[in-house]
Amino acid sequence: GVMEKLGLGPEVLLQENPRLIYARLTGFGQTGRYAKSAGHDINYLALSGVLSKLGRKDENPYAPINLLADFAGGGVMCALGIVTALYERNKSGKGQIIDASMVKGVAYLSSFLWKSQNLGLWNRPRGENLLDSGAPYYETYKTSDGKFMAVGAIEPQFYEQLIKGLGLDSDKLPSQLSFSDWPEMKKKFASIFAQKTQAEWCSIFDGTDACVTPVLSFDDVALHQHNKQRSSFIKNDQEEISPRPAPLLSRTPAVPSLKRDPFIGEHTEEILLEYGFTKQEISKLYSDKVVEISKPKANL
């Protein structure tokens, strides 16, 4: 209802321009009991059911920072809705309103969890399933130098290469799918991984299909050979590192800006002047706290 109070609701604007695509991105959506309630990623994740699946055995559910509901279920789903509406407009010539709710977005994002329940992937308690740290071959393990390795050797042929790299004999081990042996196998794998450094494990598993990779920190990720070869990270003019835009389009690839991120309000005056506001009007907007203006200070 915020935009309606400003007289800029979708019905008003669509009367002005029927081709307009008006996206409304909220946590709980435009209707429902919680529609006007405050919330954050963890709340939207909780209400979607997804949070109940995240976490280790005998521990509280945990939220993976704020990537799932805010960015994946919210921003990406909303952007996809806009793209879909743009495509539809080519046929109908009409715009429409997009109700992008983070609760519904992240719930839909989790469709795999719902559809795979009867396949035996998620029918055990949290932290005891194949992909939620239950399986010894889908886990992270600490190395002797305090770093970590990520293991995702699900398929039998990949699991066999994991076992080989660890120096074990599969004939002397329980079946890969023996749930009751998983806790003991995790202890065995952990004790072996703890005997070598991350670099030593990389020298063993790089070039194999064991699905074992280093857990890279933000300090190391841009220096890794694979990421360097893919130019996956870029530096701006302040030497700050960030991910390169993805995915890569063959004909019209994104051209990343190498300038530093702007300060909040840095270009407010410049943009308002472009749109015909006078300096007096801008000063009034600033004094009324309608806009924020922040000029960068010169380094003398």
Which residues are catalytically annotated?
40, 70
User: For residue 247, is the peptide bond before it cis, meaning its omega torsion is within 30 degrees of 0?
Assistant: yes
- The number of helices, as runs of H, and strands, as runs of E, in the chain is 12, 7
233-235 and 138-142 beta bridge pairing: unpaired
Distance between CA atoms of 138 and 210, rounded to whole angstroms? Answer: 11
In this structure, which amino acid lies at residue 282?
I
Per-residue burial over 278-289, b if 16 or more Cβ lie within 10 Å, else e, is eeeebeebbeee
Short-list 288, 270, 291, 266, CA closest to 279 = 270
Helices (H), 211-294: 225-230, 268-274, 279-287
Contact between 160 and 143 (Cβ < 8 Å):
no
| CB-CB neighbours of 133 under 10 Å | 19
CA torsion, points 228, 230, 233, 235, in degrees to nearest 10?
70
Tokens of 11: 């019905």
